[in-house]
Chains A and B, each alone.
Chain A
């Protein structure tokens, strides 16, 4: 069981209230997407779950344990892949195990299988600069999976990729997730990406950042390209867009001033 609970999380940077009283519960094995206008605190929320930021009020609990710092029960997949350029694909992927002092032959074999799973078999000895953007994000994902976390935290992992690669990565992520069924928190700006991947889409509002709506996505799995053309899919995307449209316009206008 790995239930994730945010109990009245509130967080400010100086005078700016970034998150206000966020209450939510994420069940074991659920794939949850977070969408919302720029600056509504999605990254801050994810970083707090990761233990990289601390809460001002309220707390995050993973299996009833309060989160106070980073830990290997949570794997973070960064927007920029942050692969260490002096390490090969394999060395980058095992880094979490290495830091924990848990790297051994059996674990290395498991990581090798993981690289196969994300489609990087045969690239173990490549350096990051020798990889395409899509491949680097696969390493980024494999690195987070390698520590076998209870929760996978993903902050716009595909935003730097071109549209085609992105579609492929969405399908790949779904496939990888079906294999392990980890709890996933996935931040994205693409509403269709959120609806395509998630069991639930959490819609955030800004100023202050707060949970606006919690929308269940009951589209059958596995989902594919055809799913994106189904009327239910289109209706869900439309509904979520309408929820944040006003906020997004505001955020764009404010940022322009």
Chain B
């Protein structure tokens, strides 16, 4: 009887209320575990300690300097990868020579954990932002290329045939059929790139940097400052979530035909 009642109560909640409830209970469990199970702050920081560390980092202004550098690295790398990825994807989807020429490299790089090349780029480009930007580009670009190509190639022959019967030129076929039908795929590739790009920034900074969230994580780990480490990670998590939901809005605007 009680179970039925409580499930009714659950079903009256909005989806976002359920998600909020889930986060709050997660934080609660985390707090309990760090208070009573792993009470050693060398191993686990509690949510309150993390919050305090976050506020302290904000107050001293240290956080913003790290965030600013990481943001520059991420957005510069991401933008380059998006433009490059879409262009190369469109090229190999429409030109068989380019496809055969580039395919082994694309498959190879996509399957390789290219973050491992981070130290090499630091050697070549120094420990400034450029070595990080290159790592972000490498991590993001192949996901975009592969999705763009798949999108163009999966264009339904039915649509192309229909447009041909109305006398469409190859150019019109590309811009009025292939490109719009590939848009959801391209967006999916770009969305995939967000997470990969964030990983790229952090790992590349860990290999060597003066500033950035990855640098903050590395330094906190070295000094066993768990609250600061978690503070940096939660900033990354929050920006990942924010960018993903911004993307969901963008998708609704750009491809309104795919959803209600």
Contact between B257 and A86, CB atoms less than 8 A apart:
yes
User: Is B107 an interface position by the 8 A CB rule?
Assistant: no
Residues of chain B with a CB closer than 8 A to A76's CB: 162, 165-166
Residue among B162, B164, B166, B172 making CB contact with A147, cutoff 8 Å: B166
Task: Output the residue of A52, A86, A87, A95 with the most chain B CB within 10 A.
Answer: A86
From B164, B181, B183, give the contact of A70 (CB < 8 A): B164
Contact A70 B165 (CB under 8 A): yes
With A76-B162, A78-B158, A82-B162 as known contacts, state yes or no: A127 contacts B167, CB within 8 Å: no
Residues of chain B at interface, number, CB under 8 A: 21
Is the CB–CB distance between B172 and A86 below 8 Å?
no
Residue from A78, A85, A95 in contact with B257 in the complex, judged by beta carbons closer than 8 Å: A85
Query: Looking at chain A's contact residues, is the secondary structure mostly helix, strand, loop, or mixed?
Result: loop
Between-chain CB contacts (< 8 Å), 26 pairs = A51-B165, A70-B165, A70-B167, A72-B166, A74-B165, A76-B162, A76-B166, A78-B158, A82-B161, A84-B176, A84-B177, A84-B181, A85-B181, A86-B180, A86-B183, A86-B257, A95-B176, A96-B166, A99-B163, A99-B167, A99-B169, A99-B172, A99-B176, A100-B167, A127-B256, A129-B257
Are A80 and B158 within 8 A (Cβ)? yes
Given contacts A84-B177, A95-B166, whether A52 and B257 have CB atoms under 8 Å apart is no
A99 and B255: CB pair below 8 A? no
Report the minimal beta-carbon distance from B131 to chain A, rounded to whole angstroms: 40
A71: interface (CB < 8 Å): yes
A114 at interface, CB cutoff 8 A: no
The verdict on A71 contacting B158 (CB below 8 Å), with A84-B177, A86-B255 known, is: no
Smallest CB-CB separation from B158: which chain A residue? A82
Category for how many chain A residues contact B: 20 to 34
Give the residue among B164, B180, B181 with the most A Cβ atoms within 10 A.
Answer: B164
Chain B min CB distance to A83 (Å):
9
From residue B251, how far is it (CB to closest CB) to chain A in Å? Answer: 13
Asked if A55 is an interface residue, CB under 8 A from chain B, the answer is: no
A95 in contact with B165 (CB, 8 Å): no
Neighbouring A residues of B177 by C-beta, 8 Å: 84
Question: How many Å lie between the Cα of A82 and that of B165 in the bound state?
Answer: 12
Complex Cα gap A78–B165 (Å): 10
